[in-house]
Amino acid sequence: MKLLLHACCGPCSLYPAAVLREEGEEISLFFSNANIHPYREWKARKNALEQVALEDGIPLLIDRDYPLESFLSGALAADKRCHYCYGLRLRAAAACGIAQKADGFTTTLLVSPYQDHEAIAAIGHAVGKELGIPFLYRDFRPGFRWGQGEAERRGLYRQKYCGCVFSERDRFQKVKKNGMAKSR
């Protein structure tokens, strides 16, 4: 089966790519992450993914558009900004998968224990049904630590937050129940 694997970064791509290739899947990596801020962070993650693609001989497609304003306005208007973000990236992956004549698509977001797997699966399946390309849900979380160790061994850039400006802010502030933030 020919699969398009949406990749948020190099480290998170390692385990899903290894598993899928071991199972005989023909994969291509796809980098489309308008959520990542600042631009230098976006570039560092893209560069790490390029390193993985080169070292492992995996085709890589890169969406070089960086529509930060569009992402921010959509995320701010959304009831659940993470769900908005998942939808944005999975829709881009599905469209790219169709253009590449892939049999299906999936995402490296599914390797992270910090992501909402139920939401990713529901959104992925809905987008896939709408656009006419199957979404492959796989729980890649068992390989998260292996991937992080492998990334360290390879000297890949490893980030400390999901990528969006909201996540970066939350990293440095503890938000109280009343909505007031306390700096660390």
Averaged pLDDT, 118-134: 98
pLDDT at 162: 66
Q: 135 or 166: whose pLDDT is higher?
A: 135
Tens of pLDDT, residues 153-176 = 999 988 776 666 666 667 677 654
HEC string of the chain?
CEEEEECCCHHHHHHHHHHHHHCCCEEEEEECCCCCCCHHHHHHHHHHHHHHHHHHCCCEEECCCCCHHHHHHHHHHCCCHHHHHHHHHHHHHHHHHHHCCCCEEEEHHHHCCCCCHHHHHHHHHHHHHHHCCCECCCCCHHHHHHHHHHHHHHCCCCCCCCCCHHHHHHHHEEECCCCCEEEC
Tens of pLDDT, residues 44-101 = 999 999 999 999 999 999 999 888 888 888 877 888 988 999 999 999 999 999 999 9
pLDDT at 177: 46
Q: 142 or 76: whose pLDDT is higher?
A: 142
pLDDT at 75: 78
